[in-house]
Amino acid sequence: MNAIDDLNRDQILGMLTDFARNWLAHDGLWFQAVEKHYGLAKAIELDTEAWEQFTVIEAKRIMARHGIKEDSGLEGLKRALSFRLYAVINKQEIRNETSDSFEFYMVDCRVQSARQRKNMALFPCKSVGVVEYSKFAETIDPRIKTECICCPPDDGAGVDFYCGWRFSI
């Protein structure tokens, strides 16, 4: 018997939110443990290495689950971005769409907004984000190019959004 079969839609959606929060909590705790033992630079290096692999796995699973074809261009990428695990708990927006590009903004990032509430500096995630978003987009369609608009530790990050990315083809 599978207990999930007995749940209603609201319970399943609540579990999805819990799963996303739990995943993010584990990611943060893993990072903090590495940082404590080896320092921030090494933690970022290892986090980048993990994200380089994870983001490809996530993209491929999203593509398979939601019927997003390989080489599906910017439309495929926009759709895939909406199904990422943290899309459940973060607020993201697509802006400035043209026929060959769009901008993706993380308007509310659970990690960064928590740090701001605690009067902590924003986590400098840009180097990890460059790998994460580039590899995710390339998995959807290798023609897609990724450019960072702004991401911590850049000046301006955390004012109107936490990070912004331009995808073009």
Gap between the terminal Cα atoms of the chain: 47
Q: Residue 34 above 80 pLDDT?
A: yes
Domains in the chain, ordered, with CATH? 3-168 (3.30.1380)
Q: Quick one: average pLDDT of 128-149?
A: 98
Q: Residue 94's pLDDT is what?
A: 97
Give me the chain's average pLDDT, please.
94
> pLDDT band for position 120 (50/70/90)?
confident
Task: Tell me the HSE value of 6 on the side-chain side, using a 13 A CA sphere.
Answer: 3
The total of other beta-carbon atoms located within 10 Å of residue 70's CB is: 11
pLDDT at 26 over 90: yes
Residue 70: CA count within 13 A, CB half-sphere: 4
- What is the chain's alpha carbon radius of gyration, rounded to the nearest angstrom? 17
Element (H, E) at 94: strand 91-95
How high is the pLDDT of residue 158? 87
Check whether 1 has a pLDDT greater than 80: no
Write out pLDDT tens, residues 52-86: 999 999 999 999 999 999 999 999 999 999 999 98
| Tokens read off for 37 | 């033992």
Read off the pLDDT of residues 49-60 as tens digits, 9 standing for 90 and up.
999 999 999 999
Per-residue pLDDT at 160: 93
Phi, psi (deg, nearest 5) at residue 70 = -60, 150
| Tens digits of residue pLDDT in 140-161 | 999 999 999 999 999 999 889 9
Where does the pLDDT of residue 4 fall: very low under 50, low under 70, confident under 90, or very high at 90 and above?
A: confident
- Distance between CA atoms of residues 33 and 163, nearest Å: 25
CB-count exposure of residue 4 (10 Å: 0-12, 13-18, 19+): exposed
Cα–Cα distance for residue pair 111/57, rounded to 1 Å: 22
The alpha carbon torsion through 114, 81, 167, 71 (nearest 10 deg) reads 160
